Amino acid sequence: MLTANNPYTGATIAEYPSLNEQQMAEQIAAAKEAFSAWRDTGFAGRAKVLNAVAAELRSRKDHLAKLMAQEMGKPVKEGGPEVEKAAWCAEFYAQNAEKFLQPDYIDSDASTSYVCYQPLGTLLGILPWNAPLWLAFRYLAPALMAGNTCVMKHDPNVPACAQAIAEAFVAAGAPENIMVNLPITTELAESAIRHPDIAAVSFTGSANAGAKVAAVAGSEIKHCVLELGGSDPCIVMADADLATAADIAVLSRIINAGQSCIAAKRILVEKSVYSEFTVMVEERLAKLKMGDPQLPDTDIGPIAREDLRHNLHRQVADSVSKGASCLLGGELPAGEGYFYPPTLLADVHPEMPAFCEETFGPVMALTPVADIDEALALANQTEYGLGAAIWTAQVDKAEQWAGVIETGQVAINGIVKTDPRLPSGGVKRSGFGRELGPHGIREFVNAKQVWMK
């Protein structure tokens, strides 16, 4: 059984039957059976389906936002925009997939030589709970528009969200089994990866789980894309627009109660403005309202699971015991639900968990730096390499600094975000491969060389 718990109350919402191994294999086989016809539908036909799915998502936006609030605690004022973003992703690839996958003609000793991009077959997407709609569609939209069929193994914490995504495809009139929901326990994930009808794997989740997925996929010689954790640095130089930097750093840190792999987690601030900037972010964090995620004025909902909350508190407590100053929050609230308050830690150094581990919650860690050289060194002093931000008036120099930072994306004077138009992914223990943009749709195709004399 897959059990959905409400993190606002800690109570069980519902239990959903999970597939056994034979049933799982049948569902995968059904997606494989649907592949040939879907591949041959062509870009225009596939685009019509994806646009219809996007319309269904928008028509169900309030319902889907409520499901996310109930199953993983996302405030509804964030859930609605997440649904819109998922719909946008479907529409973006419906409009641009054919252009992204045009053959590349390359001069050689042939009369004509080119590379064409053909779908691989049936893919497996293994998804996390923290953005149930968006993370599903950044896998589904490019993969489906490339002509693949998709099997979706969503996180056991959000079974109703997964079911609702499948229902949107049915309501949109999508061909049967081009997208198959796979409600299985985590223990069956390895069997799903090894199933002979699965051509490749897309995984989003923790670095430890990603390593296991990569090992299994590698043993089967199957391509995989991994989007894993992050400990994203945010560098704030003295000449930056400090008020805007504080606004965006706080927003980045507290979206989804801080449960985002690309959130600003380690804030590296030039010493001459460190005290001033600390006051700015403390004032902003203190104004945030924590409460029922189904209420429209709630800024921060609960952490998705009790074990995640306790691990977050361990990281805060250990960092304080090692010398960090807790200026705000840092205490486990009394009462029901898995809440953790907006927390501000100052004077954090690399030996502390708040610096060297990924903190998945509303905990902001501030570290003073002497100059940009120290900031860049500390930014790279992590096993992760997902995203980074730089705040400075020296935009030309910031471009050079961005080249030094070991991450998959860098935002200069803006928020680190994912966007259907731009590739996203990491290096080091943040994973490999890219999602989104023209690069993402080319991950799950066969780049076939054709040579003619």
Amino acid identity, position 130: N
CA 213 to chain centre: 17
Q: What strands, in cross-sheet order, belong to the sheet with 223-227? A: 179-181, 149-153, 122-126, 198-204, 223-227, 431-432
**89 part of the active site:** no
- Give the torsion sign (CA, 439, 126, 220, 19): negative
Residue whose C-alpha is closest to residue 391's, from 410, 373, 377, 407 = 410
* CA atoms of 110 and 107, how far apart (whole Å): 8
Q: Indicate the Cα dihedral angle 85, 83, 343, 246, nearest 10°.
A: 30
* Choice among 56, 261, 270, 356 that is catalytic: 261
H helices of 180-273, in order, are 189-194, 207-219, 242-254
* Choice among 71, 82, 91, 227 that is catalytic: 227
Other CB atoms within 10 A of residue 10 CB: 14
* CA atoms of 245 and 235, how far apart (whole Å): 10
What's 67's DSSP letter?
H
Residue whose C-alpha is closest to residue 366's, from 343, 389, 387, 383 = 343
**234 part of the active site:** no
Active centre residues (catalytic): 227, 261
